[in-house]
Amino acid sequence: MYKYKLIATDLDGTLLSNEGKVSVENRKALAALEKKGVHLSVATGRTYAEIPPEVLSCDAFHYLIYSNGSVVLDRKSGERMTACIGKETANRMMDIFADYALHITARFGGECYFDANYPLKESEAYYRIDPNHVLCVGEYGHGREDFDRLVRAQEEIEVFSVYFHSDAEREACRERLAALGDLYITSICDTNFEIFNIHAGKDRALARLCEHLGFTAKEAITLGDSSNDLSMTKTSGLGLATANAQPALMAAADGVICSNEAHVMPFVLEKYFAD
C-alpha cells in the first residue's frame, strides 16, 4: 500500500509540454500508476471543452477537476460536483468590469466564451494576455458579439478570466470584486485574475474528490506551476512544483521536481511509487 492514493495534476506548464502535448513518457507513466491502483485526476483552470482531446483520451484519468475547481467530474459514474458563481453576483461583476480596460473570458456549461468585438489575437499585446491563454481560447473558445447579454443571462458561471491593460486598474478592480464577497480571486500571471465561487478552487475541489473516494486530501499528491495551483499545493499531503513554476508556488511547495518539458509523471512514479 502506497502512502499516497491520488495524484492531481495541473495541465498547462505541468503535464503538458510547451507545445500543449502529453508526451509518450507521461502516457506510459500514467498507465503504470493506474495499474498500481493510484487514482489520477486533472486539476486545471481550463473548462471541460478546453481540455485537449489527447488528455481526455488518457483512460487513466478517471476524474477531472476543471474551471479552477468549479466542477469535479467522476468520469466513471458521470457525477458532477459543482460550486459556481450565481447570476446576481455575475451581473454585479460585469458591471464592475465595464469600468476598466480589460479582456474577459467567461466559462459556463463546460464551454469558454469571449467578446468577439475584442478579438483575442488582436487584443493580446494591449491587454497583456498570456500566450498560452491565447492559444487555448483561440482553439476552443467561442467569440460572441452578444457576449455581455449572453453572460448576464446565465444562471451559473464557472470562471471569469480577465486580463488588464493597466496594473493600477487591475488592483482597483480587485478591491471592488473582493468587496462583493463569496469570490475566490487568483491569477496565472501578473496581468490577470481568475475569479470563481469562494467554495470552488482547486483546494476545495481536491478535498471534495478525496472525500468522494473515501480518504482525505493529505493522502494526495498535487503537481502545479502557477499561482492558481497554490491552494491545492498547500492542501494536499505532498504539493510539488515544477522547475518552471512561479516563485511563489516553489516557495510554498513541499518539493520542486523536473520541468514540464522533462516529463513529470515518470518522475513522480519513480520517486513515490517504486516497488
pLDDT in tens, 223-269: 999 988 999 999 999 999 999 999 999 999 999 999 999 999 999 99
Residues 176 and 245 in one domain: no
Spatial distance between the Cα atoms of 40 and 220, rounded to a whole number of angstroms: 10
Residues 134 and 179 in one domain: yes
Cα-based torsion angle of the residue sequence 124, 129, 133, 137 in order, rounded to the nearest 10 degrees: -40
Q: Tell me the CA distances in angstroms from 69 to 122, 127, 132, 142, 248, one per residue in order.
A: 30, 25, 19, 21, 20
Residues 242 and 223 in one domain: yes
What is the SS3 string spanning 56-76? Answer: HCCCCCCEEEECCCCEEEECC
Residues 64 and 89 in one domain: no
Q: Which of 132, 126, 134 is nearest to 166 (CA)?
A: 126
Residues 72 and 207 in one domain: yes
Percent of residues in the chain assigned helix, strand, coil, to nearest 5: 40, 25, 35
Residues 108 and 167 in one domain: yes
How much is the pLDDT for 114? Answer: 95
Q: 177 near 162, Cβ under 8 Å?
A: no
Residues 149 and 19 in one domain: no
Residues 187 and 221 in one domain: no
How much is the pLDDT for 55? Answer: 96
**Grid cell locating 227:** 499561482
**Grid cell locating 75:** 468520469
Spatial distance between the Cα atoms of 113 and 134, rounded to a whole number of angstroms: 12
Residue finishing a domain among 145, 163, 197: 197
Domain range enclosing 235: 6-81+201-272
Spatial distance between the Cα atoms of 225 and 248, rounded to a whole number of angstroms: 9
How much is the pLDDT for 45? Answer: 87
Residues 176 and 263 in one domain: no
Tell me the three state secondary structure of residue 65.
strand
Q: For 1, how many CA atoms within 13 A lie in the half-sphere containing its CB?
A: 2
How much is the pLDDT for 208? Answer: 95
Residue finishing a domain among 197, 214, 248: 197
Q: Which of 224, 275, 242 is nearest to 35 (CA)?
A: 275
* Residue 25 one-letter amino acid: E
Spatial distance between the Cα atoms of 258 and 266, rounded to a whole number of angstroms: 10
Answer whether residue 74 is part of any domain. yes
User: Where residue 225 sits, what CATH number does that domain have?
Assistant: 3.40.50.1000
**Grid cell locating 242:** 515544477
Residue finishing a domain among 160, 180, 197: 197
The number of residues in the chain equals 275
How much is the pLDDT for 104? Answer: 95
Answer whether residue 211 is part of any domain. yes
Residues 92 and 76 in one domain: no
User: Where residue 104 sits, what CATH number does that domain have?
Assistant: 3.30.1240.10
How much is the pLDDT for 97? Answer: 97
Taking the CA atoms of 122, 128, 131 and 137 in sequence, report the sign of the dihedral they define: negative
pTM reported for the whole predicted model = 0.84
How much is the pLDDT for 186? Answer: 86
Q: How many domains does the chain have?
A: 2
Answer whether residue 151 is part of any domain. yes
What is the SS3 string spanning 182-222? Answer: CEEEECCCCCEEEEEECCCHHHHHHHHHHHHHCCCHHHEEE
Residues 176 and 206 in one domain: no
Answer whether residue 1 is part of any domain. no
Residues 193 and 151 in one domain: yes
Residues of the chain with pLDDT under 50: none
* pLDDT tens by residue, 57-68: 999 999 999 998
Answer whether residue 236 is part of any domain. yes
**Grid cell locating 136:** 487555448
H/E segment holding residue 98:
none
